[in-house]
Amino acid sequence: MGRAVRGTVVAQLVLLAGVLTGCSEPAPDGHAKPSASTTGAATAGGKGTAEDAGAAKSGGNVGPAGSACPLPVTFDTAEEWRPEAVETGTPGDDGGSEQDELAAELAEGLLRQGPFTAACEIDAKPAGNIGFIRVWTGEKGAGEGDAEALLKEFVAAEGDTSEAKYSAFTSDSDVRGTEVEYLYTSEALDETKKERAFVAVTPDGPVVVHLGGLDTQEHEQMLPAYELAKRTLSTT
């Protein structure tokens, strides 16, 4: 394939890669402001952690029909966090040139993680943090026997992960699921950071809600928004 074709493919995928990257640009002044999604104050050392940040205030929800991201589940989003559906269609879906096929192949790697497909991302940048809560959906009927096994597939597909700790949880609406806390090492950034996710199995298929972040510090600042999602989780 010629260089010109590859260059065009890369251009087509710039927006798609931006949607699913964990390294969003910081606030306009070059520094992420203290998160507006939490009620607590930052520590004397600068940024606060999940423990001293307190509970996140609800700013809306996702999941219901007519919301930014219709899903098999619903949950509250923190104040100022901005949800947006992830479009899974790619230029190669209807067939076409070699260029379209390469674009589809590259997009597949961004939109899939193990048995799950990206469905929604909730951007923390308007609230002053660098990162996302992302929602991934699986096929109907998957995970009915062992939700934890499905979550393990999701974590393994991310790449270099370690120290995974799995536990059960129940939301305020009595939705039961499995949660994992783990470390992810980025080869590109040569950095290890905390991440976590939870899975719930619904009649319409399993759903994973994942929290990453630019680094561990950002991850801990965004935990209240993640905990809000887990606590308010219900099925649609």
Specify the CATH class of 36-88+113-235 in words: alpha beta
β 132-137/205-211 pair status: antiparallel
Q: What is the mean pLDDT of the chain?
A: 79
Listed range (8-17, 111-120, 149-158, 220-229) with the worst mean pLDDT: 8-17
What is the reported pLDDT for 87?
Answer: 85
* DSSP output for the chain: --HHHHHHHHHHTHHHHHHH-S-----TTSSPPPPTTBSSPPPTTSS--HHHH-PBPEEEEEBSTTSSSB-SEEEEEETT-EEEEPP---TTTT---HHHHHHHHHHHHHHEETTEEEEEEEE-GGGT-S-EEEEEE--TTTTSS-HHHHHHHHHHHHSSEEEEEEEEEE-TT--EEEEEEEEEEETTTTEEEEEEEEEEEETTEEEEEEE--SSHHHHHHHHHHHHHHHHT-EE-
Q: Is the pLDDT of residue 5 over 80?
A: no
Q: Is the pLDDT of residue 76 over 90?
A: yes
- Calculate ∠ Cα 179-184-187, nearest 5°: 160
pLDDT-derived band at 54 (thresholds 50, 70, 90) equals confident
pTM: 0.75
What is the reported pLDDT for 107?
Answer: 63
Q: Residue by residue, what is the 3-state secondary structure of 99-168?
A: HHHHHHHHHHHHHEECCEEEEEEEECHHHCCCCEEEEEECCCCCCCCCHHHHHHHHHHHHCCEEEEEEEE
Residues 208-222 have a mean pLDDT of 96
pLDDT digits (tens, 9 = 90+) for 144-193: 778 899 999 999 999 999 999 999 999 999 999 999 999 999 888 789 99
What is the reported pLDDT for 14?
Answer: 38
Listed range (113-117, 137-141, 144-148, 202-206) with the worst mean pLDDT: 144-148
Q: Is the pLDDT of residue 7 over 80?
A: no
